[in-house]
Amino acid sequence: MGCVLALVAWISPRFALALVYLFTDRLTIAFRSGWEGIIGFLLLPYTTLFYALVYAPVQGVRGFGWIVVAAGVLLDLSSLGFGRRTRNKRTPAHR
């Protein structure tokens, strides 16, 4: 199941978050309120997914888990930059 989730997350992190929400209780364990999950779903899907996967109920996120969450932040920022660059290539410059 883990490899399938990783493949789905690579293609669409929001779809992977929906699958995690539907078939596991990781999101309800990791986030105290539903708003954190919803905001993460909309703004930082990789970070939200990685945080939910490395969160431990008693300890929280520790050690290597923070490196995984940081990788999620980098993926979110790179996908945002890639989307902006692609959009700028499609629209002609107004001169």
Query: Residue 95 falls within a domain, yes or no?
Result: no
Query: Rounded mean pLDDT of the chain?
Result: 83
Could you give the number of structural domains in the chain? Answer: 1
Residue 69 lies in a domain: yes
Tell if the pTM clears 0.75, that is, is over it: yes
Burial class for 30, CB neighbours closer than 10 Å (0-12, 13-18, 19+) = buried
Residue holding tokens 């789905």?
Answer: 8
In a domain, 7, yes or no: yes
Q: Is residue 77 part of a domain?
A: yes
| Position 80 in a domain | yes
What percent of the chain shows pLDDT beyond 70? Answer: 84
Task: Provide the domain limits for residue 28.
Answer: 2-90
pLDDT exceeds 70 at position 55: yes
The three-state secondary structure class of 9 is helix
The reported pLDDT for the residue numbered 73 is 92
Short-list 22, 61, 17, CA closest to 37: 17
Across the range 40-53, mean pLDDT stands at 90
